[in-house]
């Protein structure tokens, strides 16, 4: 009951900030339409010439991942607003645990994230994209990826004071994810090491890099979860690190007895 009450409270807070919510849900679909018109000639030429993937097809997994990346704003805002309003002081005095509060925020963001991903996919389909997709596999990959973004959002919120800070300084981690995950343009491989027969590059430290790779295999090649096991395992591992680090840092800075 207590968790359900926290989820309801968090959901209502997100609905009150409807401008951020609309931006989160519409950003990736808007760019998907733009990408379609930009590559419309390439799509026609490629599809009429052979059964190869068009440039637009290759960008769609990146657009879905962009929908996930946008969660950094409403998720971080959920943490910052409670801190800015002094709610955390009351929460420390109540019986609510940090884990319960973080779980409530995470559940709401997973719902918003999955909705944003599905809206982006629907937009891509409406402008001519034809995925070879198993919806459950896509939902699982995107859901785990949203949780990883919640971890990043906690890290961001731990260092920022207001929502205004989030909309200015908070754009920096967003652009890192957007441009260095490999979804916007090809990146050179900067090798770190090999693991399980796979080369691990510098940008593989970003969970969204693996999200793009996994969604590309699922959407464009009909892969299942077993086929993207490496990418899914990498997302889960990075999610654990991000959530653990973010929770410890946020708790120490804002929910401990001597926090300011």
Q: Say if CB 77 and CB 43 are below 8 A apart.
A: no
Report pLDDT for 92: 63
Report pLDDT for 85: 65
Report pLDDT for 222: 86
Report pLDDT for 45: 43
Report pLDDT for 70: 93
Q: Give the residues of the chain that fall short of pLDDT 70.
A: 1, 40-52, 84-95, 196, 255-260
Report pLDDT for 47: 44
End-to-end CA distance of the chain: 30
Output the six-digit token pair for 125: 């389909």
**Secondary structure letter of residue 252 according to DSSP:** I
Report pLDDT for 190: 79
Please, which residues have CB within 8 angstroms of residue 32's CB and are 6 or more apart in sequence? 60, 63, 120, 123, 124, 127
Please, which residues have CB within 8 angstroms of residue 77's CB and are 6 or more apart in sequence? 17, 20, 163, 166
| CA angle (173 as vertex; 169, 179 as ends), nearest 5 | 125
Report pLDDT for 137: 92
**Environment class of residue 216 by beta-carbon count within 10 Å: exposed (0-12), middle (13-18) or buried (19+)?**
buried
CB atoms under 10 Å from CB of 130, counted, come to 11
For residue 195, the cross-strand partners are 198
Output the six-digit token pair for 46: 């490629």
């Amino acid at each position: 009951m207590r968790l359900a009450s926290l989820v309801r409270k968090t959901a209502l807070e997100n609905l009150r900030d409807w401008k951020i919510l609309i931006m989160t849900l519409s950003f990736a679909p808007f760019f998907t339409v733009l990408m379609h018109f930009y590559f419309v000639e390439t799509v026609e030429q490629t599809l009429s010439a052979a059964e190869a993937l068009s440039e637009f097809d290759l960008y769609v997994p990146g657009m879905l991942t962009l929908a996930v990346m946008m969660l950094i704003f409403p998720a971080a805002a959920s943490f910052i607003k409670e801190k800015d309003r002094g709610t955390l002081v009351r929460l420390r005095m109540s019986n609510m645990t940090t884990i319960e509060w973080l779980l409530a925020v995470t559940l709401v963001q997973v719902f918003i994230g999955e909705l944003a991903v599905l809206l982006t996919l629907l937009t891509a389909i409406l402008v001519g994209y034809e995925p070879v997709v198993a919806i459950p596999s896509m939902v699982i990959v995107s859901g785990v990826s949203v949780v990883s973004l919640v971890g990043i959002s906690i890290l961001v919120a731990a260092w920022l004071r207001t929502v205004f800070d989030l909309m200015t300084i908070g754009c920096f981690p967003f652009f890192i994810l957007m441009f260095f995950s490999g979804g916007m343009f090809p990146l050179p491989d900067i090798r770190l090491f090999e693991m399980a027969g796979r080369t691990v590059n510098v940008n593989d430290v970003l969970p969204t890099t693996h999200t793009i790779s996994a969604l590309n295999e699922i959407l464009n090649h009909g892969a299942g979860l077993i086929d993207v096991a490496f990418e899914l395992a990498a997302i889960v591992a990075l999610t654990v690190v991000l959530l653990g680090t973010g929770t410890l840092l946020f708790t120490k800075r804002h929910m401990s007895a001597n926090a300011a």
